[in-house]
Amino acid sequence: MSGKAQYRLDILLGILLFAGMSFALYMALIGAPTERTMGDLQRIFYFHVPAAITGLAAFATNFVSSLVFLLRKNRRWDALALASAELGILFFCMVLVTGPIWAKPVWFVWWTWSPRLTASFILCLLYVAYMLIRKSYEDPERKASVSAVFGVIAFVDAPLVWFSIRWWRDIHPSPMLETGGLDPSMRPAFYACLGAFLILFLYLLRRRFCLETMRNKVDGLLLRLDEMR
Amino acid sequence: MHKIWAIFRKDLLIEFRTKDSLTAMLFFGIVVLVVFNFALGSLHQAVRSAVPGVLWVAFAFSGTLGLNRLFAVEKENGCLQGLLMIPADRGAVYLGKMLASCFFMLIAEAVLFIAALVLFNLTVRNEIPWLMLVFVVGTLGFTAVGTLLSAIAVNTRLREVLLPLMLFPVILPILINAVEATDIILNSADYGALKLPLTVMSAFTIIFATISYLLFERVLEE
Amino acid sequence: MIEARNLGKYFGRFAALNNLHLTVSDGEFIALFGKNGAGKTTLLRILAGLSRPSRGELKIKPSRQAPPGAVRGHIGYLSHETSLYMDLTAVENLRFHARLTDVPSDDRALAMRMQQVGLAGRERDPVRNFSRGMQQRLAIARAFLHNPDILLLDEPFTGLDSSGCDFFKSFLAAAHADGKTCIMAIHDTRLGYEIAERLVVISRGAVALDAAKPSLDYAQFREKLEPLLA
């Protein structure tokens, strides 16, 4: 893709993001009906759950790009893996912040060691470890290989963590969408928020990816400059 | 196959000559047990139900010390490059190292378990074969992924600091299931219920041993 | 036969190797010169398969027929580190390496190796008690225990006393006469010139001079080398 087309895509995504976010905010805060028992508090749901789904999508992206990097050895895939890991951590931080805010008035505790909470927390830790590995290798090629290996391990580990914790007692609402627990009148707002979060993810992913590939390009140019000197 | 065995035997020989990591592992493990004894205080009733968790925390901490030494030995004189030059799949190096660390950990576990029996006033008899099974499977899982992560950590600036940060989140499924299984054995004797944790631990071990075997080379190659 | 085309190895913004071309026929003896950081060690590590080039192509065909993937078994690499376990005895180190490379590991075969490098009688001493020179002798025995076709040597004379140097020179001469390929990084210009038959100078990650010894006498070679080392 040419630079100009790239730029146009960025603008387009930006506009889409702005429109989507505004619509989602309207739907979540005003459009959706107020929940009977929890009141307005329940509106956190429209941010909490989409953030979690988007975070999972980010970690899945990290897994796929790590795998492809290991097979192809193309640094662009490493840049994508880095971008998605950072965003995954970001979204899961949102989950871990909105969670306790929601839980305190409803369950009367900030934190419970329920499977969902624990697993989200561990998932976050796994990718913080991923970032630490990246920080502690200096040679970019080695950093890319090793972190890709860890990216694969972390994502494969995630379901095992989840199933291992699962048989503990669970007070977290089990997936409302699967059981049809979410009232149909709330669904439009939920899907609007989910869509907005996914666009946000794509937008940030693109920006971060471009930044990283640019950085690699600058390194390459500096190398060439050294050669010429 | 005999190369894996050669690496395993070499590590054993060095360890039984220097006793560097086993001493550290045992001492640290016992310190953990003693500290827990104070932390649990006078809750005599609860002690038996706390033992599985305490035991595995001690195992995991002392195991981490062992894993830190595992590749530090190879780094010392550039021995690792000698290992990487073998005319065979480099996965053999992984398997040899993994078996060695597993062996050391099991020795440490046996001693720590006896120490725990004394310190926490427990009696076990029929439970022993079951406990051995859980310890072996759990340790295999721990070292399957621990050996790979140890090889990652040894080449970084942070070294010993980085290993536990990577290891503990990844190893969590093993720890949870091992604690659950040990708890079942010590506190309910419903051995049928062991099937689930043992299955999860075995699955973990097989999955991560395979991944590590395949990717080991990528971690060490410059 | 070794064929390296357009090799590049980058550590971030630092180019250790850059567009390096080198073709080595079987049985050649090459001395690699170059100042510190020119890329000699990086090149040897890539040839040994310990490091993966960032760019370019590398083909190594051993003279003997070898199954694919077993190329490593035909390469011996003596690095500036000894790759010896300090807490094992000399013979235990050799035996371990013999097992890894599928060569006879019985006491007699290993004792013979020890004798070859002038360490007879020290088999049961732990390496920790060895002097630097003795360790280097043992490292030589270890690195070439499996009779490789290609010998890669990184400053092999480090730590050797004069009798050690003499021994190692004759060792290399014998290997060369045996038709083995030798590539040796060395900073001692006179020594390198004396032993090798082809002189390669590496500067800033690329081959700056590549000459057969007969075409240059020592004074001429010095003259050409000097600016490349500055």
pLDDT digits (tens, 9 = 90+) for A95-154: 999 988 888 888 888 877 777 788 889 999 999 999 999 999 988 889 999 999 999 999
pLDDT (0 to 100) of residue C204: 87
Q: Which positions ≥6 away from C211 have C-beta within 8 Å?
A: C198, C199, C221
Q: How many residues does chain C have?
A: 230
Average pLDDT, integer, range C111-125: 89
Longest dimension (CA), chain B: 59
- Could you give the C-alpha distances from B220 to A99, B92, B155, B217, C51, in angstroms and in order? 40, 13, 8, 5, 9
Share the mean pLDDT of chain C: 89
User: Is residue A175 over pLDDT 60?
Assistant: no
What average pLDDT is seen over chain B? 91
| Proportion of chain B above pLDDT 70, given as a percent | 98
Parse chain B into domains and list their residue ranges: 2-220
Contact A139 C18 (CB under 8 A): no
Name the least confident of A75-79, B125-129, B138-142: B125-129
Cβ proximity of A52 and A193 under 8 Å: no
Q: Is the pLDDT of residue A172 over 60?
A: no
Alpha helices in chain A (DSSP H): 3-26, 45-72, 75-107, 115-136, 140-166, 176-179, 187-228
Mean pLDDT is highest, among B100-104, C17-21, C200-204, for B100-104
Interface test with chain C among A72, A143, A223, by most C beta carbons within 10 Å: A223
> How far does the CA of residue B26 sit from the closest CA of chain C (Å)?
21
Tell me the shortest Cα–Cα distance from A127 to chain B, in angstroms. Answer: 9
Q: Do A227 and C54 touch (CB under 8 A)?
A: no
Q: What integer pLDDT is reported at residue C198 of this predicted model?
A: 93
pLDDT, tens only, C127-162: 999 998 899 999 999 999 988 999 999 999 988 888
| DSSP states of C64-124 | S---TT-GGGGEEEE-SS----TTSBHHHHHHHHHHHTTS--SHHHHHHHHHHTT-TT-TT
Judge: A227–C10 Cβ closer than 8 Å, yes or no: no
Report the pLDDT value the prediction gives residue B44, as an integer from 0 to 100.
64
From C219's Cα to the closest Cα of chain B, the distance in A is: 37
Is the predicted pLDDT of residue C163 greater than 70, yes or no?
yes
Inter-chain residue contact A164 with B158, CB threshold 8 Å: no
Cβ separation C12–A226 shorter than 8 A: no
At A9, is the pLDDT very low, low, confident or very high (cuts 50, 70, 90)?
Answer: confident
C-alpha dihedral over C89, B65, B205, B108, to 10 degrees? 80
pLDDT of A178 over the 50 cut: no
Chain B positions in Cβ-Cβ contact with residue C84 (cut-off 8 Å)? 77, 79
Please indicate whether, in this complex, the C-beta atoms of A222 and C13 are within 8 angstroms of each other.
Answer: yes
Residue carrying structure tokens 């049961």: C124
pLDDT for residue B99 is more than 60:
yes
- Whether B81 shows a pLDDT value over 50: the answer reads yes
Q: What is the mean pLDDT of residues B132-144?
A: 96
Residue labelled with tokens 């004069």 = C162
Instruction: Please indicate whether, in this complex, the C-beta atoms of A223 and C54 are within 8 angstroms of each other.
Output: no
With contact defined as 3+ CB pairs under 8 Å, the chains touching C are A, B
| Whole-number pLDDT of residue A170 | 47
Q: Is the pLDDT of residue B96 over 80?
A: yes
- For residue B78, the chain C residue with the least C-alpha distance is C83
CB A66 within 8 A of CB A146: no
Q: Tokens in use for C85? A: 């376990």
Where residue A173 falls among pLDDT bands split at 50, 70, 90? low
Q: Is 70 exceeded by the pLDDT of residue B219?
A: yes
